[in-house]
Amino acid sequence: MYLRRAFGVSLSHLLAAGLIAAVVVLAVVPQGIERYQINAFIAQAEAAQLEISERTKQDIYEHTYVVREGKDKAAYVAKQKNIPLEDARAVPLRSDTITEWKHGITQLNHIETNIRGKPLHVSLNLENNDHMHVFEYAPDTCAAQESTGIHTESCTKKTEVTETYRAHRSVFDGVHDIASLYEGTLAYNPQPGKTVDFAELTYAGEQLVGDVGYTVFVSARDNIEIRYFFDTETHLLKQRTISILDGDMRYEMSEIQEVDFAFLPAEEAPEIFNPTRYSYEQMEVIPLSPQS
């Protein structure tokens, strides 16, 4: 079992660091699985999460992930809006690619979507002395974007953006807009939360995809279920699936897929977080408290 292998490497180190004690009561563990193995894995996953957070204070964290509509989104929309299933399945599913660069509390966010005719969206939260300057590049049209010399696939596709396409996309986003899954992480937050809080997670087993093993946890609240897939070797979160539970039906509505991350030297900050890099509009200036 993957967890046995993960547990065997560093139990003494985890005990010495006090990490196991901090998570002993956090995971709900089914019968037949040793509680300490699950909690040891959680401790290592939390340590990996903390290491990334701490390192952004020295280096620049570059992180890319994709948020896409799930395989059952069309079926759920058809049911909720009482439209033919074949019509709903004909609507292209949305996929947003987010790349973020973080250095301390300064953050640059680059959002590109496959929605036809939707321009690039860029936001910059730039720390400057005792203030946070918030900038945004959000052209209304593809023509406005291209006038600034920026080209993206969603704005250069030759496929016509019809009123029918816009109407269908509006219905899908009205049922659930996948941007709600990441927008909160893009805004300036002086006290950001954890990427994953294990307090309400239940261990759901191991899963092998190709040559990669995943340790799976699940959370459920009201009618929402989220499944978390951690790389068993690195303890890093690789994927989340969000589903709606409707009676005896389970609709996978969206998926968050990790693509890549890297650490860049802090010396690159002036170029990456350059407020003249895009045709930004300054949205607000936020005074920073001493602890920010």
Domains and CATH numbers, the chain: 60-287 (2.50.20)
* Least trusted range by pLDDT, from 21-25, 64-68, 164-168, 214-218: 21-25
Task: Yes or no: say if 181 and 174 are a contact pair by the CB < 8 Å rule.
Answer: no
**Looking at residue 44, what is its pLDDT?**
92
Which comes out higher in pLDDT, residue 11 or 232? 232
Nearest to 77 by CA among 165, 182, 168: 168
What is the predicted pLDDT for the residue at 34? 72
Q: Which amino acid is at 128?
A: N
At residue 194 the predicted structure's pLDDT band, cuts being 50, 70 and 90, is low
Mean pLDDT, all residues of the chain: 85
Structure tokens belonging to residue 167: 């109407």
pTM: 0.83
Q: Is the pLDDT reported for residue 166 higher than 70?
A: yes
Q: How far apart are alpha carbons 46 and 135 in whole angstroms?
A: 32
Please say whether the beta carbons of 29 and 233 come within 8 A: no
155 within 8 A of 142, measured Cβ to Cβ = yes
Q: Which of 2-11, 151-160, 217-226 has the highest mean pLDDT?
A: 217-226
Average pLDDT, stretch 86-115?
A: 95
Residue 10 has pLDDT above 60, yes or no: no
Q: Residue 36 pLDDT more than 50? A: yes
Q: What is the pLDDT of residue 26?
A: 41
**How many whole angstroms separate alpha carbon 103 and alpha carbon 110?**
15
Structural contact between residues 15 and 44, judged by C-beta atoms closer than 8 angstroms: no
- Give 143's contacts (C-beta < 8 A, 6+ positions apart): none
Answer whether residue 118 shows pLDDT above 60. Answer: yes
Q: Which residue has the higher pLDDT, 67 or 212?
A: 67
pLDDT at 17 over 70: no
User: Which pLDDT belongs to residue 275?
Assistant: 95
In angstroms, the CA 176 to CA 73 distance is 9
Cα(220)–Cα(163) distance, integer angstroms: 37
pLDDT given for residue 289 in this prediction: 79
For every residue of the chain, DSSP letters joined together read -HHHHHHHTSHHHHHHHTHHHHHTTTSB--TTS-HHHHHHHHHHHHHHHHHHHHHTTTSEEEEEEEEEE-TTHHHHHHHHHT--HHHHHTSPPPEEEEEEEEETTEEEEEEEE-STTPPPEEEEEEEETTEEEEEEE--SSHHHHHTTT---HHHH--S---HHHHHHHHHHHHH--GGGGTHHHHS--SS---S--GGG-EEEEEEEETTEEEEEEEEEETTEEEEEEEETTT--EEEEEEEEEETTEEEEEEEEEEEEEEEE-GGGHHHHT-TTSS--EEEEEEEPPTT-
Q: Report whether 120 contacts 145 (CB < 8 A).
A: yes
Is the pLDDT at 9 greater than 80, yes or no?
A: no
Residue 290 to residue 49: CA distance in whole angstroms: 25
Segment among 31-35, 81-85, 226-230 with least mean pLDDT = 31-35
- Write the Ramachandran bin of 205: left for phi over 0, alpha for psi from -120 to 50, otherwise beta: left
Q: What is the pLDDT of residue 291?
A: 58
Q: Which residues contact 280 (CB under 8 A, 6 or more apart)?
A: 122, 124, 135, 136, 137
Between residues 123 and 209, which one has the greater pLDDT?
123
Cα-Cα-Cα-Cα torsion 202, 21, 2, 46, nearest 10 degrees, comes to 80
pLDDT band at 5 (very low <50, low <70, confident <90, very high): very low
Instruction: Please identify which residue in the block is written with the tokens 């509680």.
Output: 35
